Amino acid sequence: MIGVTVLGATGSIGVSTLDVLARHPDRFRAVALTANRDAERLAEQCRRHRPHYAVMADPQAAARLGELLADLPDPPEILCGVEGLEQVAALPEVDYVMAAIVGAAGLRPTLAAALAGKRVLLANKESLVVAGELLMRAVADSGAQLLPIDSEHNAIFQCLPPNFSDGLAQVGVRRILLTASGGPFRTWPIDQLALVTPEQACAHPTWDMGRKISVDSATMMNKGLEVIEACWLFGTDTDHIQVVIHPQSVIHSLVQYEDGSVLAQLGNPDMRTPIAHAMGWPERIASGVTPLDLFAIARLDFHEPDLDRFPCLRLAYEAARAGGTAPAVLNAANEIAVASFLERRIPFTRIAEVVAGTLDALPSETMDRQGLEFLLEVDRRARAQAERLVQLQVH
């Protein structure tokens, strides 16, 4: 039986992971489930999946969870805070860790899972964006497995040969084609984007995602972060990654080879497909996803992204090329800017301006094998600078 910890169990990825896990009760068991503050939903999940551990990032929510589960004859051990998250990510009885905590908050437990040699199912892209060098070093040193859950990166993984870690050029790869839906505003007049509301930005046309990721999709910062993530996952650089807008979200990404072949992975836009792929790999297991009906789709469209419409994508490429701490600054500034937009403190178009201003104020520093505390300090300074820029807008 394969023991699984789900970091971020109450989010969309966590819920999909538990759905796949429940389809294979003879193969997987939930050892630990975690959430931020949603004690009610985590309590429901604990009643159904009966984990040995339950973790709330928020201490008050942990106390509430204890109350909600007090009637169980064998309630899970309840932990709280980042220490609890790190503990359940590295438990000896855990084999797989789904890293699905959104944002930089997922960095510590994801790194703990890698250091403990687990199969890390990576849905938290910020772990690689902020600390790619640290995470990849931990994977190499511990013998952990790092399998991508983002639908695009999982698609690329499926289209590459098993020995791609020898170097993409050595296996005949010319470039990676990273698809993007383009979000809900790809056809809006640019001069209307300042009027976008949080409700409009969160109404993604093809994917059901959380609010922060939905906004990132609307600005295409999500795709920019995925470019940085792909550089680490597949040992390449931005010159070999091209973003392609594909509104139907049926082709999840493609790999172009030197012989002229282009391999693509297709499927309905349902995160259970990459989750089941990573949980079963190298086997294929049932995910519960409806089979793709090509006749119903009928057409597939592709467009080049407009960097005037999507300045966040341009900023992400620039941060990737700068390297060092620039991606960490980019991510931190974006998290502050997106939160401020969702709180209606700044307009939609100000998100990119806050990120650009923060990158200008905090030039990239070299990593020089610096540790996690150095990166967390960079993250703190970037958030403080981004908040200052938000305040300038507010006042």
| DSSP secondary structure of 215-274 | HHHHHTHHHHHHHHHHHHHHT--GGGEEEEE-TT--EEEEEEETTS-EEEEE--S-THHH
Does 165 carry a binding-site annotation? Answer: no
Spans in the chain with pLDDT lower than 70 = 204-209, 394-395
Does 222 carry a binding-site annotation? Answer: yes
Does 127 carry a binding-site annotation? Answer: no
Rounded (5°) CA angle 76-78-79:
145
Residue 176 main-chain phi, psi, to 5 deg: -100, 135
Does 212 carry a binding-site annotation? Answer: no
Looking at residue 208, what is its pLDDT?
62
**Closest C-alpha among 286, 317, 297 to residue 247:** 297
Does 74 carry a binding-site annotation? Answer: no
Looking at residue 15, what is its pLDDT?
97
C-alpha 236/C-alpha 391 separation (Å) is 38
Looking at residue 48, what is its pLDDT?
97
CATH of domain 323-392: 1.10.1740.10
Does 151 carry a binding-site annotation? Answer: yes
Does 10 carry a binding-site annotation? Answer: yes
pLDDT tens-digit profile of 77-97?
999 999 999 999 999 999 999
Does 126 carry a binding-site annotation? Answer: yes
Does 133 carry a binding-site annotation? Answer: no
**Closest C-alpha among 154, 156, 136 to residue 144:** 136
Return residue ranges of the chain for CATH 1.10.1740.10. 323-392
Does 261 carry a binding-site annotation? Answer: no
Looking at residue 104, what is its pLDDT?
73
Looking at residue 370, what is its pLDDT?
80
Does 152 carry a binding-site annotation? Answer: yes
Return residue ranges of the chain for CATH 3.40.50.720. 2-148
Does 142 carry a binding-site annotation? Answer: no
Looking at residue 105, what is its pLDDT?
81
Do residues 51 and 91 touch, judged by C-beta distance below 8 A? no
| pTM for the structure as a whole | 0.92
Looking at residue 206, what is its pLDDT?
63
Asked if omega into 282 is within 30° of 0 (cis), the reply is yes
Does 13 carry a binding-site annotation? Answer: yes
Does 150 carry a binding-site annotation? Answer: yes
Does 364 carry a binding-site annotation? Answer: no
Q: Name the CATH superfamily housing domain 2-148.
A: NAD(P)-binding Rossmann-like Domain (3.40.50.720)
Question: In the β-sheet with 145-148, what is the strand arrangement from edge to edge?
Answer: 77-80, 53-56, 28-35, 2-7, 96-99, 119-122, 145-148
Helices (H) and strands (E) in the chain, counts: 16, 11
